[in-house]
Structure 1
Amino acid sequence: MLTLKIQQMTVDGHPYLCPDCASQAFTLDGSGFIDAFPVWGNCWNGHRWEEPLITLGTLKEIKAASTGRERAEDDDAFAIVIGGAVLAGILHPELTADDLKTAGGAAWKRIIKPAVRRRKRAAFRAVKRPVSNAVAAAQAAAIGAAWVLQAGGHSPDPDYKPEPINPCAACGGKGGHNIEYRLHKTTRVRCSVCSGTGEID
C-alpha cells in the first residue's frame, strides 16, 4: 500500500480538490500489485472518493519525482506528465533534522526530553523490578510462616485426593477401566477420553 499526503495539487494549472468540500489537502491511497489499479482519495474532513484517472503507477511516479526536503524552508514538490496532463503539487512535509534545529526549545520540550525521560524510566524499572520481586517473595514467606503458626501447624491429610471438577463420563472420574478376562488376571487400562486424569476440560 502506498499513501501520499498531498498539501495541494494542480492538473494542468487547475486546482485538484476534494469533490465534496473543496479541501486542498488530502491523501491518495493506492493498494494492489498492479500499477493500473485506481487510487482512493481521502480528505481531512473524512470524505472518500475513487480516482480512476490517477493509478498506483502514478503514485509511484509522484513519489519518485518529489524533490524531498533538505532544510526547514524547502517544499517537497513534484511535477509529472500523465497522458499529456501535468500533475504538479506539494507533498505534506516530512520531519527533517533541520526542522528540529529550527524549532529549538519546542523540539527539546516536545520530542527529545520525553524520549530521554522514557529511557530513564525504563532503566529505573529494570533495576527496580527484581528488587520488588525479592521483597514480595520475602513478604509472602513471612505471611505463610505466620499463618502456619496461627493455625497450629496444621498439615493436610496425605491420603486426601480431591474429586475431579468435571468428572469424565466414560470412566466415572476414575481415570481408567478394569478389563476382566477369564484367561488372564484383571487388567487396568487408561481412559482414552480423559487421558487418565479423570477430568474433562
Structure 2
Amino acid sequence: MAITIKVVWMRCKGEPTGCPECGASHIEFSTSQPFDTWPSWGWCITCGHSWEDTVISTSVVRAIRSGSTGRRKATDSDLFAVKLPNGWLLEGELLPEITIDDVRQIGKIYWRRIVKPAARKKKRQLKRAVKKGATKAVKGALAGPAALALRADWETRAGGWEPPVIENPCPAGCDRGSYDLDTNIHEDSPRVTCSFCHGTGVDPTA
C-alpha cells in the first residue's frame, strides 16, 4: 500500500533540512515498499527535484504518518517527531489536511468579508433607490400644481390670455397646423404637421 506524506518543514538533530538540490523544505515523501529499511522517494515541491532518500526510509514515513499530532481546529498544526534508525531526532510539520473547523472558519471569513459587505452595499443601494424614487414622486406631484399656479399668475399679470382666433381655418380639421397621432408604437402620441396647410392652420385656398 502506497503511503505519501507532504512536509512543510523539518529539522534533523535540530538543524533545518530539506531538498538536496535547492534546500527548500516543502517535500513530498512516498513509498510503496513492503520492507521497512527500503528508501522512500522524495520529491521537492519547489524545484521538482526527485531522489531516493535512504535516511527517511519506509519505516520512517510510516512512523511520521501514524505518529503525527493531526489537527482538530483551524489553529492546530500537524506536527511529528520520530527517531531515525541511527538515533537522530527528526521533527517537523506536515501539510495540513482540511478539517471541519477549517470549513467553519472559511465560512465565517466568507460571510464576514464577502457576503456581509455585499449585503450591506445592496441594502444601501436599495435605500438610495427608494429615496430617489420618493423624491421624484414628490417632485412629479408638485410639478403639476406649480405649473398651474405659474400660469394663473402669468394670466393674472398679463390681464388674461386666450389663443388668437384664426380666420379661414384649415378645412382638413387640424389643430392649428398639426395633428396628434394615436399609435400603439409610441408611448406618447406624436405630433405631425398638417400636409394641407403646411403647419399654418389657415386654409391655403381661401
Normalising by structure 1, we get a TM-score of 0.51
**Equivalent residue, structure 1, for 2:5:** 4
Question: How many residues get paired?
Answer: 108
What is the CA deviation profile of residues 67-111 of structure 1, one whole-angstrom value per residue up to 9, with x for unaligned ones? 000100000000011221000000000000000111116678xxx
Gaps of 5+ in 2: 112-206
> Which residues in structure 2 correspond to 1:71-82 (within 5 Å)?
71-82=73-84
Q: Which amino acid aligns with 2:56?
A: I
Matched, 1:103 2:144: no
Q: Distance in 1 between matches of 2:82 and 2:33?
A: 22
**Equivalent residue, structure 1, for 2:136:** none
Gaps of 5+ in 1: 109-201
**Equivalent residue, structure 1, for 2:72:** 70
| Pick aligned residue for 1:49 from 48, 51, 55 | 51
Q: Distance in 2 between matches of 1:85 and 1:41?
A: 19
> Which residues in structure 2 correspond to 1:112-191 (within 5 Å)?
none
**Equivalent residue, structure 2, for 1:32:** 33
Question: Does structure 2 retain, via aligned residues, the 8 Å contact 1:67–1:77?
Answer: yes
Q: Distance in 2 between matches of 1:107 and 1:37?
A: 46
C-alpha spacing 1:48/1:71, structure 2 compared with 1 (3 Å): same
Describe the SS at the equivalent of 1:74: coil
What is the aligned-residue identity percentage?
37
Matched, 1:89 2:95: no
Q: Which amino acid aligns with 1:4?
A: I
Q: Distance in 2 between matches of 1:68 and 1:107?
A: 25
Q: Distance in 1 between matches of 2:60 and 2:78?
A: 17
Question: Does structure 2 retain, via aligned residues, the 8 Å contact 1:31–1:37?
Answer: no
Q: Distance in 1 between matches of 2:22 and 2:14?
A: 20
How far apart are residue 46 of structure 1 and its match? 1.0
Normalising by structure 2, we get a TM-score of 0.50
Q: Which amino acid aligns with 1:2?
A: I
Regions of 4+ moved over 4 Å: 105-108
How far apart are residue 11 of structure 1 and its match? 0.5
Q: Which amino acid aligns with 1:80?
A: V
Q: Distance in 2 between matches of 1:29 and 1:47?
A: 14
Describe the SS at the equivalent of 1:53: strand
Question: Does structure 2 retain, via aligned residues, the 8 Å contact 1:100–1:107?
Answer: no
**Equivalent residue, structure 2, for 1:199:** none
Q: Distance in 1 between matches of 2:108 and 2:71?
A: 22
Q: Distance in 2 between matches of 1:51 and 1:35?
A: 13
Q: Which amino acid aligns with 2:13?
A: D
Q: Distance in 1 between matches of 2:110 and 2:55?
A: 40
Q: Distance in 2 between matches of 1:106 and 1:36?
A: 45
Q: Distance in 1 between matches of 2:35 and 2:58?
A: 7
Q: Which of structures 1 and 2 has the bigger CA Rg?
A: 2
Describe the SS at the equivalent of 1:50: strand
